[in-house]
Amino acid sequence: MYIHDLKNAEGEKQAKKRLGRGLGSGLGKTSGKGHKGQNARSGGGVRPGFEGGQNPLYRRLPSKGFSNAKFKKVYSIVNVSQLNNFKKGATVDAEALLNAGILSKIEKDGVKVLGNGELTVAVKVVANKFTNSAKEKITAQGGSVEEA
């Protein structure tokens, strides 16, 4: 087999529409755009959702419901087990967590410490929120908790 023997699969290549090349082509004269009118013009046509001046569907339907999403609290989450990366007596705050690579960014409402895992070092933790189990585990190791 040679490269000049290769052929495309049946129907793989489709010829480009050649507009305005005579009546016999089926796309001559008005080139498939009909007679004048808004859609025949350069840059013509209407925006999505436009219904010719009739009140569009998105305005006819009632607005219903309420979303509390914009009032939702968003915290960066840290588990107690991740605090084992720090030395004994260290102060762990948002900046320290970023530098240690535990967090990639601080969310808008700050840092929340969860009680998953075990803690083996006594550290001072400064965060915006703590779960009760996290507080207990930190203080049980001799560390301290401070809500910022």
* Per-residue pLDDT tens over the stretch 7-44: 999 999 998 999 999 999 999 999 999 999 999 999 99
- Residue 64 has a pLDDT of 87
Terminal alpha carbon distance of the chain: 75
- The alpha carbon of residue 124 and the mean position of all alpha carbons in its chain are separated, in whole angstroms, by 34
Name the residue type at position 121: V
**pLDDT of 148 strictly over 90:** no
User: Going from the N-terminus, what domains does the chain have, and what CATH number goes with each?
Assistant: 74-147 (3.100.10.10)
Rg of the chain's alpha carbons, rounded to an integer? 33
pLDDT single digits (tens) 54-99: 999 999 999 888 989 989 999 999 999 999 999 999 999 999 999 9
- Residue 59 has a pLDDT of 95
pTM: 0.57
Mean predicted confidence (pLDDT) in 110-127? 96
Residue with tokens 């969860």: 114
Q: Which residues contact 80 (CB under 8 A, 6 or more apart)?
A: 113, 114, 115, 116, 117, 118, 119, 133, 134, 137, 138
Task: Return phi, psi of residue 98, to 5°.
Answer: -65, -50
- Residue 73 has a pLDDT of 93
Q: Cβ-count burial of 123 within 10 angstroms (0-12 exposed, 13-18 middle, 19+ buried)? A: buried
- Residue 134 has a pLDDT of 96
